[in-house]
Structure 1
Amino acid sequence: MAFAKARRNGPTDAERIRSVIAAAGSLSLTTDGNSYDLVAMHDVDGSGRLALHAPADSPLAAEAACAPRGALSALLEFTDIAPIAVRDRVRARVTLAGRLTPSPLQTSPGVLVLRLDVARASIQRGALVEHIGPEELERAAPDVLAVAEAAMLTHLEEGHRDVVDRLARLADPELPHTAARVAPLALDRHGITLRCEYAHGVADLRIAFRTPVKDVDEVGRQVEILLRRAVAAPSGKRAGREDAGS
């Protein structure tokens, strides 16, 4: 699957990483000695610092307690999966490498809080892998729609198929007739991406909002602006298309 690098009308790679982490409910952790699948055990503070909350009697807590110089080498992997069932559903894979150290602020009895000091970060989208420095990652913020995106896309797919079809016509007036299926794939403050499924492959269409939204409440207004454009668009109007392979 081929994806363009960070676009003017889309999030930067650092923002994408922060968004994936903010929305993720689980992650895979690999240390020098073990592998863990952690569900609902991480959070991110306002400065972008990721922390794991491990039960004090867990193998992870025991391994961290025995780590040389109190720092546990760690590789964290997050998989960003589209909330709508589409072909090629994995949208991105995020990897963070660094060291886990006990936080001086242990907030809950029976829980060991481990903070991650990031040394390296990367995001893979299809065959393209981008590497992000820890300073750039720290300066970035998750997209304002990151946490709400899954619910909003699901609502759009299940309750407003007419809107999806009208947006598809804005991208390509013939699209609803040539594609076997068009579904909402991604949503961020800059716009919406549609996944078009054909008999022998898929392609993604990016439709930018007129202006980036500041919060969830502004999305409806921006979609309405797009729909008015769909009515007024000439027959030759096209949005950006990305081949996504088969």
Structure 2
Amino acid sequence: MVTDTRTKRPPAPHAAERARTIAARHGSAALLPQAGSRTTPLFHHVHPCGSTTLLLPDEHPLVGQLWHSPRTEVTAMLEIADQAPVALREPVRGLLWLTGWVSALDDREAREEVLAVADVRPDHRLLDAGHGVTVLRLTPASMVIADAESTSSIQPEQFASATPDPFCGNEDHWLRHLEAAHRDVVGQLARHLPEELRAGRVRPLGLDRFGLRLRVEAECDDHDVRIAFSQSVSTPAELAAELRRLMGCPFLAQR
């Protein structure tokens, strides 16, 4: 993860909104129990309230620990990585850590949990619950997000009251298309970068309602730079108008 060192920052989503966006992207995750080794869940899903559904194989040592009589909870941290949508030499653009208590769900609880997840995010891996796979729940006590904007602590109630960025579901597709088919557009956007960064390789890194983020891969270092929109946007039409404005086509940006 690369952070630009410039002190003056344009408007950006607040920490809880960025955390909700990372969670909604379902990036790679690692579970780190207080006592135990780092492990990759078979599946994870962060609910709007911050509680997280996890799937682990029945034979995993953590599952045995949780089912030890009497049934217990284990302190653990879930790390979720926000991967850039294009191939970068430093691909992680943000990290979200959820720290709290992990518990194993009994058959009834597990069925209810899986059905609740399937309602909003159907996934074939959920079918394995109860068939060699145990359903766990992480109840968070605290959260931390670290990205190019800042490193910030978030309370679960702040996370629950925020919403993901309106473009997070389409961001990957749009930026990959921009990288593959519209390098000329990236070049035009690069005109907004500080002059000393324009010699580096400019790549599309992120998109949100406040602006576009570019990664500059320079010879010795990388920089993440935010190019701000003139106002917050929430629809594809508003987004297109702002991008045209940044490209220097104001007559196309009229609403």
TM-score (norm 1): 0.76
Q: CA deviation at 1:14?
A: 1.5
Percent identity, aligned pairs only?
A: 35
Q: 1:185 aligns with which of 201, 205, 215?
A: 205
Return 5+ residue gaps in structure 1 as ranges: 234-246
- Give the Cα separation in 1 of the matches to 2:225 and 2:149: 18
- Are 1:230 and 2:247 matched, yes or no? yes
- Give the Cα separation in 2 of the matches to 1:32 and 1:204: 33
Q: Which has the higher strand share?
A: 1
Q: CA deviation at 1:192?
A: 0.9
Secondary structure of 2:184's partner?
Answer: helix
Partner of 2:53: 51
Question: Conserved in 1, the CA contact under 8 Å of 2:45 and 2:52?
Answer: yes
Partner of 1:121: 143
- Give the Cα separation in 2 of the matches to 1:165 and 1:223: 17
Partner of 1:162: 184
Secondary structure of 1:14's partner?
Answer: helix
Secondary structure of 2:95's partner?
Answer: strand
Question: Conserved in 2, the CA contact under 8 Å of 1:25 and 1:40?
Answer: no
- Give the Cα separation in 1 of the matches to 2:181 and 2:41: 29
1:143-158 equivalences under 5 Å are 143-158=165-180
- Are 1:106 and 2:126 matched, yes or no? no
RMSD: 3.2
Q: CA deviation at 1:142?
A: 2.2
TM-score (norm 2): 0.74
Q: CA deviation at 1:199?
A: 3.4
Amino acid at match of 2:240: V
Distance 1:183 1:19, change over 3 A: same
Secondary structure of 1:101's partner?
Answer: strand
Question: Conserved in 1, the CA contact under 8 Å of 2:63 and 2:134?
Answer: yes
Secondary structure of 1:203's partner?
Answer: strand
- Are 1:63 and 2:84 matched, yes or no? no
Partner of 1:142: 164
Amino acid at match of 2:39: D
Distance 1:101 1:3, change over 3 A: farther
Distance 1:183 1:2, change over 3 A: closer
Partner of 1:209: 229
Secondary structure of 2:130's partner?
Answer: coil
Question: Conserved in 2, the CA contact under 8 Å of 1:64 and 1:70?
Answer: yes
Q: CA deviation at 1:101?
A: 2.0
